[in-house]
Amino acid sequence: MTAMSGREKLIVALDLPDAASAVNLAEKLRGHVGMFKVGSELYTAEGPVLAHYLIAVGEKVFLDLKFHDIPNTVKAAARQAAQLGASMFNVHASGGRRMLEAAVEGARSTRSSGRSTASPAVLAVTLLTSLESRDLTELGVTGIPEEAVVRLARLAQQAGLQGVVASPREIEAIRRACGPKFLIVTPGIRPAAAAANDQVRMATPEQAVRAGADFIVVGRPITGAPDPVAAADAIVAEMEMALAPKT
Ligand code: C5P
């Protein structure tokens, strides 16, 4: 992948309850961010309308529906994501190797109806960034969480996925294990001055990029800001500090 600017690396999570408010925000942010993430709240409320709209006007879409089902169903869903013209979509790595391979097959099996003819990047969710050690114990994930994350990232890479969604503090270990070409998309980002909300594993945009994130996902610090464009521009500026050649 060629070097990307701070703006191209910024994915904004359109975590809003309806299409009207999402379109309103997206229109303001166009030209200031690299991609729009449509997740389960908006998708459940409005279906693919928003993604269709964004792709039709030339924007990139990350379809964040975290598929986790039998391989045949995930393959069919992946085909639909590709058909829609999503640039990225994701699945849970814990669905297992055959499900992961099916996702990749589905993504490659059709050409999008959008402007981009490339297949979407398929990303794996390893462990949700909201999980704390007590949650992991209850789920039977023993040992060091970072080891589970790296194991799942490796599995995803072997199955042909292009990358993972990973928390800031997992970036370096995944980069070491999976190499420079494997995409790392990082939520759990808070600009230096912002409140932590409920994300347990946090980093600033600059820290995430320095650690090796290809993309960062930012929701509430932009969507909840009094001036979302100014908030997005400030985050891009923070990333540019990490990207600037050292003098
Ligand atoms: O508002 P905030 O910046 O915390 O939003 C983070 C976004 O990243 C949310 O849309 C959340 O669903 C998403 N996320 C994710 N994968 C994770 C953790 C968070 O896609 N492992």
Residue 116 vs residue 186, higher pLDDT: 186
List the end-to-end C-alpha distance of the chain, in Å, as a whole number. Answer: 24
Give, to the nearest 10 degrees, the angle between helix 97-108 and helix 145-158.
50
165 lines ligand 1 (CB under 6 A): yes
Q: Are 228 and 28 in contact (CB under 8 A)?
A: yes
How far apart (Å, rounded) are the C-alpha atoms in residues 97 and 81? 20
9 is catalytic: no
Distance from residue 62's CA to the centre of ligand 1 (Å): 12
Which pLDDT value is given to residue 198?
Answer: 54
From the candidates 37, 60, 66, 246, give the one annotated as an active-site residue: 66
> Is 90 close to ligand 1, i.e. is its CB under 6 Å away?
no
Q: Residue 221 CA: which ligand 1 atom is closest?
A: 3
Task: Report the amino acid identity of residue 104.
Answer: V
Q: What is the pTM of this model?
A: 0.93
Residue-wise pLDDT for 75-118, tens only, equals 999 999 999 999 999 999 999 999 999 999 999 997 665 555 68
- Tell whether ligand 1 has an atom less than 6 A from the beta carbon of residue 39: yes
Rounded distance between C-alpha atoms, residue 177 and residue 157, angstroms: 10
Whole-number pLDDT of residue 24:
97
Paired tokens of 244: 């600037």
112 lines ligand 1 (CB under 6 A): no
The Cα–Cα gap between 189 and 8 comes to 16
CA separation, residue 191 to residues 48, 162, 187 (Å): 30, 27, 12
Q: pLDDT digits over 36-54, tens only?
A: 999 999 999 999 999 999 9
State which ligand 1 atom lies nearest to the alpha carbon of 166.
Answer: 21
Over range 180-187, report the average pLDDT: 97
pLDDT, tens digit (0-9, with 9 covering 90-100), for 19-36: 999 999 999 999 999 999
> What's the pLDDT band for 200 if we cut at 50, 70, 90?
low
Residue 46 Cα distances to 17, 23, 43, 50, 160, angstroms = 9, 12, 5, 7, 31
Q: Which atom of ligand 1 is nearest to the CA of 218?
A: 3
Compute the distance between CA of residue 139 and CA of residue 131 in angstroms, rounded to an integer: 10
Tokens of 13: 């999570």
170 Cα: distance to centroid of ligand 1 (angstroms): 15
